[in-house]
A and B are shown apart, each in its own frame.
Chain A
Amino acid sequence: MQFDAKIPGGPLEGKWDRHRFELKLVNPANKRKFEIIVIGTGLAGSSASASLAELGYHVKTFCIQDSPRRAHSIAAQGGINAAKNYQNDGDSIWRLFYDTIKGGDFRSREANVYRLAQLSNNIIDHCVAQGIPFARDYGGLLDNRSFGGAQVSRTFYARGQTGQQLLLGAYGALMRQVAAGNVEMFPRREMLDLVVVNDQARGIVARNLITGEIESYAADAVILTSGGYGNIYYLSTNAESSNVGACLRAYKRGAVFANPCFTQIHPTCIPHTGDHQSKLTLMSESLRNDGRVWVPRNSGDIREPQDIPESDRLYFLEEKYPSFGNLVPRDVASRNAKEQCDAGRGVGLTRCAVYLDFSDAIQRDGKDVIAKKYGNLFEMYERITDETPYKRPMMIFPASHYTMGGLWVDYNLMSNIPGLFVLGEANFSDHGANRLGASALMQGLADGYFIIPYTIGGYFAGTPLAPVTTGHGAFNEAVQEGQTKLHKLMSIQGKRTVDNIFRELGKIMWEYCGMSRNAEGLEKASKLIQSLRGEFWENVLVPGTDKDFNKSLEKAQRLADSLEFAETMVVDAWTRNESCGSHFRTEFQTEDGEAKRDDENFCHVSVWKYQGEEERPAFHKEPLVFENVELSQRSYK
């Protein structure tokens, strides 16, 4: 099967312009006749809902939380990239494009990434117009910082709360459209299934999380913006309710999944302290701009950090990567931290941590300057650990943070199911095998504000859509299936709680399908997941009823999805016999221990099609063609 990415022809710089011209338009008076469902209200979902409603479409927007403002984009700290070149330091759309493609280790599409870099500038303009309080310099112009592996200062930020501010901007725009009657908002709903009629996405069924009722909603198109699946590791920086469910249901209805094994492990999280730990808190990687990462040079050195002299400290990133130092990309920083800990040089309670030290920066710039930059992050750290980074080095350790893999989409952000669009982290399109810092916010907003409003119009204008209501048999069938599954979960009444089984899944994934993988481990993981899935369906304990507000049932359902999806990740990691970006197969590394790509055999998107429960999904390839950049080996030395 071939998956056509529908990349427009012509020179890279003109593709998006040309495509926008070639897309058919929907007459303004006709737009109100189209109903669009949006699942999720993070940056992609809120911005898409608002922008589509502004154009005149009728939008129904769903979120799991009690309010759309709580989607997990809210937690992004560091910033958002744009190629404004306000700092006159050599940035350009081309450079942002190139950095993103290279950062993704040449496993993303040129055309998509170039468009993302182009739109980055529109996003900043729009967000400032919305009143987002970005940081400014003394003259009142926008301030920038260098972030996560970039050698130019192109990151716009609002203290350490950039995601919050951008999301509240998009949420405000969404609320404005709710007030105008153009968006109907459905909070506390979880999508249970995608409804496909005549091979077109025509609606969803969702569970009302307060009443337990299963509800049906029909539409002319469905947009999934339900985020990533990083929670599959149990401990992650994701929110409690972030889950793969909506994407998995679409996958089981025929949407293909791309590069599921590409998951990002973030290097700067607060280490865990015990089994009660439910999540890991991320410390913005902007901290690496001024913090120096080190461990004791000698393994087993348990002295307090202040008692370890310079000569006994190993600044492993600075030593190994003299030009990028502490600013190497996330995967490189994470892997190196784990290597140090595996070698017995870890610090802290669990010996699974490395230091991130600000004492030099404080000495150089003064405490006030550092406090201005990182004050709220330091407070956050102190609140959690009871230690202040002004006096004692922070301790950090990698944690699952973002998933580059996602549902496959073409250049229009439409999946292989006509009428099903996928935006933001939920799709796979722009970050390749590794995402650069401050690029997730950029992608979510580019997709929602500036891409979908055009491409969905092209779809509507060029596609005959028969009238479909929730009375159609496909809705009834989906409701029945959802109900049956819920009843089954409730009826098991076994002995293990959901969290207990979830922790076990997390450990399997972290151990064998995390920062570094190999064939042997992946084979083992596959078997362990199968047996854990078997145990789940025989021995899970879900208290309460399904006709009520029941968080345990929500969690059980999400875990069931994760147990099903985990194997797709494993099979993808197993099949990709190379290392690239975040996907590090220990069998494929250079002599220096760096990721060794195999461009001859793996310069493609791995695309998986669901074949049924307990069946291996079918494997397809979308070859990646590079016409504008030369594939180079990443080197941060």
Chain B
Amino acid sequence: MIKKISKFFKGLIKKDNNVIFHGSDWKDYSDFEFEWLEIILTKNIIKKEDILSLLKKFKIKFLEENWEDCVSTEEMGNVLINDVPKKELWLGVTDILSKKYADKLNFDEAYKIWGKLSNYSRDDLSKIYKEISKNKDSSDFVNDKNFSENEEFVKGFLMSFIIEELCKISKKEAIKLLEK
């Protein structure tokens, strides 16, 4: 009898510690939440060891031999976004950011900047982007008038590029750049 009760409770504990994920519902994210998470997990903002720690935490592994060496961080990040529900992934990512990347923009700060950028004109956004961009091809692309007659999508591109670049540098540098 005692054995049976003990087995029952062990089973309960095991279930609690082993939440099974069935994929993420992207409708849980706002547009900017999704965009920010994608930047953090797939654009080399955080180190590979941190992406690996998230995969380990959620018990996801690739099936190839030596996958930890041969799978890119972008591929790993994409699988995390696909398979881990928002609540768990969000907590995991923000926990890593606050503990190891406190010098970088957090979500609330990035969202605040996003809000300000959305009120800027295309010319202002182009100036900011030129100032901070290290990716010349992208810069040429967004400024190429043959591509960009639609104000709305050019602004969308520029805002994404700017946020991505700002997430790569320190919070102090980001604020300094925007003050210029």
Bind each other? no
Residues of B in contact with A (beta carbons under 8 Å apart): none
